[in-house]
Amino acid sequence: MGVLNLSDASIKSGGKRTTFWDQATAWNEGLQLISTQSFSSVSTVEFDNVFSDKYVQYKVIGAVKTSGADAGLHLRFRTGGSNNTSSIYNIQQYVGNGSSQGGVRYTSQTYWFEFLGIAKSSFEPVVITELMNPYQTTYTSGLKMGGMNNETASIQHDLRALGTNATTSFDGFAIIPSAAVNLTGTISVYGYYKGE
């Protein structure tokens, strides 16, 4: 077996020869951390300049508790440091709780409600949130899947398809609680690297 000389390495890939360092960049493609914020006793959490043309799809993960009452963690997009409060946010929701389940649609809202679930003083919701095309000048869409135990120890499942009815380019977002509570926790934004 030969020895790979890293100072002069090359790898044959796709019918052409590329340098080792080019190939190493390709190996790093995939989910990449863009920004993480840890916060304590704040009324809102704002992320600016996290969306760009480098990425098309994003994942937002949060572990957040409230200072008191339960509160939905709503999302509003931001551009240039300002929240978009227009009625552009649409939601198709399906909730399953025991033998009860049902769907409902909300259109022309001023935010995506419960984007990171419902936070409690003693509970962090388990949520998977995905975004598509927030920076591109096309319709932004998203998907939220959540699960939680409530106070009666039953498990609830929540699935939401998210959309906008405007082709605005957004470079950030804010997480805003539905009640007058303070938030403590960590929120991270990841991008799915699309290659160069």
DSSP letters, 118-181, are EEBTTB--EEEEEEE-SSSSS--EEEEEEEEE-TTS-EEEEEEEEEESS----SEEEEEESSS-
Which domains, from first to last, does the chain contain?
A: 40-88+108-138+165-190 (2.60.120)
User: How high is the pLDDT of residue 20?
Assistant: 41
User: How high is the pLDDT of residue 19?
Assistant: 43
Q: What is the pLDDT of residues 2-53, one digit of tens each?
A: 554 444 444 444 444 444 444 444 455 689 999 999 999 999 999 999 999 9
**Which pTM does this prediction carry?**
0.81
Residue pair 90/107 in contact (Cβ under 8 Å)? The answer is: yes
Q: What is the pLDDT of residues 109-132, one digit of tens each?
A: 999 999 998 888 877 777 889 999
Q: What percent of the chain has pLDDT over 70?
A: 81
Tell me 112's DSSP state. B
Q: Mean pLDDT across the stretch 160-184? A: 95
Q: How high does pLDDT run on average in the chain?
A: 84
User: How high is the pLDDT of residue 22?
Assistant: 47
